[in-house]
Amino acid sequence: MDDPGHIAAISPHLDDAVASCGALLAAYPGSTVVTVFAGAPAAGAPQTDWDRRCGFPDGATAMAQRCAEDDKALHLLKARPVRLPFLDDQYIRAMTRVSPKIEKIAPALANALDQAQARTVLFPMGLFHSDHVLASDAVLALVAATSDRLWVAYEDALYRTKPGLLHARLVQFYTRGYSLTPVVFGAPSNIHRKATAVSAYASQLGELGVKKGEGDAAAPERYWLLSESVKQQP
């Protein structure tokens, strides 16, 4: 893909697009990163186990710090942040609320993509984590109604290494009427700038087991171009 136009990357959480697509985003300065679950819980919300392990007293403090880290990472990649107000699943569960519906997420994503004037949309394959699946499915809800964009799934960093998940998800896409074909971009990726950007998310790297320039976040990024499945002749 030599001319993707303006790129918008859909990120479930504040670090996912950089961990999964950072080298590509660095190669296309001016891209937009739309984070779906970037909302902060209200003061007094129960502390989650993940926030406690990361050293935060509450979710509001954690999200403020993560947004600051995200600002730093995207500045390094010369990307523009857009953040939607939906709550991370950990906060939904802690407050015993119902997860946001695709019917609410999809229109918010559509508006963000329109505002960004995105021609190519990178979106998570939707592996393992419920927020990743929800973000991916919300994008699929937009595909049929938007024919003038290129939709490219990226393999969710850290989760794509779990045995069988990627292949199972490819089958799910196919049963919904979509096929995914490997695609590469013309501009050379910048793995060194990505490594520096990933290291900006310092508050979570220890718990995630991520070290600069090592592990799956440092492995080659892989992309899949979405298209309608070819109908089999009877």
Residue 194's domain spans which residues? 7-228
Model confidence, pTM? 0.92
Tokens 């998940």, located at residue: 165
Structure tokens at 117: 């004037």
Q: Is the residue at 51 inside a domain?
A: yes
Q: Is the residue at 1 inside a domain?
A: no
Query: Sign of the CA dihedral 113, 185, 17, 79?
Result: negative
Count of domains observed in the chain: 1
Q: Is the residue at 234 inside a domain?
A: no
Q: Is the residue at 217 inside a domain?
A: yes
Q: Is the residue at 93 inside a domain?
A: yes
Residue 9: φ, ψ to 5°: -105, 125
- Outline where DSSP puts E strands in the chain: 7-11, 32-35, 80-83, 120-124, 150-154, 178-183, 223-228
* Residues near 9 by beta carbon (within 8 Å), at least 6 away in sequence: 17, 21, 25, 31, 32, 33, 34, 79, 121, 122, 123, 154
Q: What is the predicted pLDDT for the residue at 12?
A: 97
Q: Is the residue at 2 inside a domain?
A: no
Q: Is the residue at 72 inside a domain?
A: yes
Q: Which helix (H) or strand (E) holds 21?
A: helix 16-27
Q: What is the predicted pLDDT for the residue at 223?
A: 97
Residue-wise pLDDT tens digits, 34-66: 999 999 898 778 888 888 988 999 889 999 999
Residue-wise pLDDT tens digits, 67-88: 999 999 999 999 999 999 999 8
Q: What is the predicted pLDDT for the residue at 210?
A: 78
Q: Is the residue at 216 inside a domain?
A: yes
> What CATH code is carried by the domain that includes residue 120?
3.40.50.10320
Residue 189: φ, ψ to 5°: -70, 155
Q: What is the predicted pLDDT for the residue at 234?
A: 47
Sequential pLDDT tens for the chain (234 residues): 889 999 999 999 999 999 999 999 999 999 999 999 999 898 778 888 888 988 999 889 999 999 999 999 999 999 999 999 999 888 888 887 778 889 999 999 999 999 999 999 999 999 999 999 999 999 999 997 777 899 999 999 999 999 999 999 999 999 999 999 999 999 888 899 999 999 999 988 877 777 776 778 888 999 999 998 765 544
Q: Torsion-angle region of residue 62: left (phi > 0), alpha (psi -120 to 50) or beta?
A: alpha
